[in-house]
Structure 1
């Protein structure tokens, strides 16, 4: 009788300290949930409340293969906490059939033979790994195609992970976009010997470029050519802008260029030079540019300084103000100095800041060095 009461209580709470030590704690079930799934996730220390809140529908599905997913990941070298994090973020993984998961493992290992690295990829991009078997043929064909281009395996792996849609669709669609990119590269004077490196860099920086319509590339290049950019300058933009040729459109670029030219009061030729030095300028809508110009001018920076170092426009107003304050603490007046010290990533800035600090604190002479005296 006592055992029956304890079992009843166990179904209504996650942990019951009064239970005998030889009985495993159970979890509370919500209406209609798959008991085996909930208990298996609980055993793996997965945050079940998080799943209920964000993706509760998964817990109602049957069949589910929680133990099989965990065993597969463990066999690949994943630790318990990693398995727990993967299933908390992407519980849909438990709905993948074991044979599908094994097929995915074998497929991914053709481009990522290191299982430890593959576990790291799955942790970051679980949805890219646990997909329907209906996409396996497309994945296999796309892998073969990109391998035929002699692309680095790491690039192919990155494409599969960060842009899985491009590998789940027919290979012919990717072939069309790649040929369009290659043709544009050649027409703009790119050297054939550098084609593979250029393509790898472009795909690595912007994997989603494959999902854009090829016509967008042609329209944007024609627009910029009409604005006076030379063939060599267009190739430079194509190589630096991480696939801007498909993310933008002529109308947005026209508005941005018009606003920038009007604000800086520069000529067409000067505007082209500014864009070549700061291609990202083409991305920003007028509202963002207005805020950044205003923030820089409010900080005492002149328009001529901005035109000389336009990459400062890539920084948010908050970052600019923070960096200016840090520099001011060491006596650097941004109003009279170069804006280059503001540029770059956080790491770049810290390096520049460190050099300024070192220069300020360096002694005027080395007290250890021997003094030179006349005989």
Structure 2
């Protein structure tokens, strides 16, 4: 009798429960039911959100439908919306007013909404950002537009280095002026300065976040090492504004180690650096590993000096390429390192030419032609 009463009470409790959630949208402790259900309806990977950013699901207020409607109105498909929300679920915490303000800002530099959706898909955190940064974003956009920079460059800066747009405009203005001044002092032509600046910012958007003093200190250090003004301009232009990423102490150690290992003079070392500016980036430990790998593969130090950009390759990549070249009869120990060098695309082109050269029959210009009688 007691068992029957208990069973009946349990049945009443089950009937009293609210509408059951779908199995895949089962709530964890203290999650916002409406948020989970709305995300589930959009086919968002809720388990991924729980694993990486579960705190979002516990917020009392969320705007899942509003975010989805905004993205859909901009041309985003359901699959893209689900992908964006799984990658950056914090987007649902932005109010409709914040989202609309961001949309207006971004459309001012990227009017093509299809392109804008592609940017949001790759950099959702840059679009769904705090309203407290809105004034700084607007001021920075106006400043970069006043420099007559290409809209695509400004869009790329906003997407890949949003911190530079969230901070006061004056900080960016100070760094840009420092770059422009350095360019002109090193012999750059004012007529080409806008193109140079666009290329630099495009290749390294984070250059704006560096203190201007770092640029000055590094240029002074390299000048003391014997680099001419023309060579300094070449270094500043060649590799993504690298002189803002380094410091005199690290460059001093790297240059001393490289010169000692290569057994070259200071003048020869400068030529090597001009051919391979990335050499300044690497620590002594990385360089030691790469020198050891190259020498262990039978490559001589003279070959490395002739083609120093081979030091940009990891030991694993070097060994893999050597094996592929060897399979087609190319001995890296006695030949040039150029077929081994470069990006993956460069190597595949060199490798393809080498393979065709070996497979194509040689033409003998003095051999008689075979013709039908």
Q: Same fold (TM over 0.5)?
A: yes
How has the CA–CA distance of structure 1 residues 230 and 361 changed in structure 2, closer, same or farther, with 3 Å as cutoff? Answer: same
2:341 to 335, 340, 343: 343
Q: Give the CA deviation at 1:7.
A: 8.6
Equivalent runs, 1:171-182 vs 2, <5 Å: 171-182=169-180
1:355 to 350, 353, 356: 353
Alpha-carbon contact 1:189-1:231 (below 8 Å) kept = yes
Q: Which segments of structure 1 move beyond 3 Å, counting only runs of 4 or more?
A: 1-13, 370-373
How has the CA–CA distance of structure 1 residues 372 and 225 changed in structure 2, closer, same or farther, with 3 Å as cutoff? Answer: farther
* 1:43 has 2:52 as partner: no
Alpha-carbon contact 1:166-1:211 (below 8 Å) kept = yes
Equivalent runs, 1:1-375 vs 2, <5 Å: 5=14, 8=17, 11=20, 14=23, 27-365=25-363, 371=369
How has the CA–CA distance of structure 1 residues 101 and 13 changed in structure 2, closer, same or farther, with 3 Å as cutoff? Answer: closer
Measured in 2, the distance between the counterparts of 1:6 and 1:371 equals: 95
Q: Give the CA deviation at 1:364.
A: 2.0
Alpha-carbon contact 1:65-1:94 (below 8 Å) kept = yes
Q: Give the CA deviation at 1:341.
A: 1.0
Please state whether the residue corresponding to 2:23 is helix, strand or coil: coil
Measured in 2, the distance between the counterparts of 1:7 and 1:152 equals: 62
Measured in 2, the distance between the counterparts of 1:283 and 1:115 equals: 38
Please state whether the residue corresponding to 1:358 is helix, strand or coil: helix
Alpha-carbon contact 2:158-2:165 (below 8 Å) kept = yes
Q: Give the CA deviation at 1:365.
A: 3.2
How has the CA–CA distance of structure 1 residues 294 and 6 changed in structure 2, closer, same or farther, with 3 Å as cutoff? Answer: farther
Alpha-carbon contact 1:256-1:284 (below 8 Å) kept = yes
Structure 1: stretches of 5+ with no match in the other structure: 16-26
Q: Which moved more, 1:355-364 or 1:255-264?
A: 355-364
Alpha-carbon contact 2:21-2:37 (below 8 Å) kept = no
Match of 1:23 in 2: none
Measured in 1, the distance between the counterparts of 2:15 and 2:74 equals: 39
Match of 1:22 in 2: none
Q: Give the CA deviation at 1:344.
A: 1.4
Say how many residue pairs are matched.
Answer: 361
Deviations 1:204-231 (A, max 9, x none): 1110000000000000000000000000
Deviations 1:106-149 (A, max 9, x none): 11011111111111110110000001111111111101111111
Measured in 2, the distance between the counterparts of 1:332 and 1:3 equals: 82
Q: Give the CA deviation at 1:11.
A: 3.3
TM-score by length of 1: 0.92
RMSD: 2.1
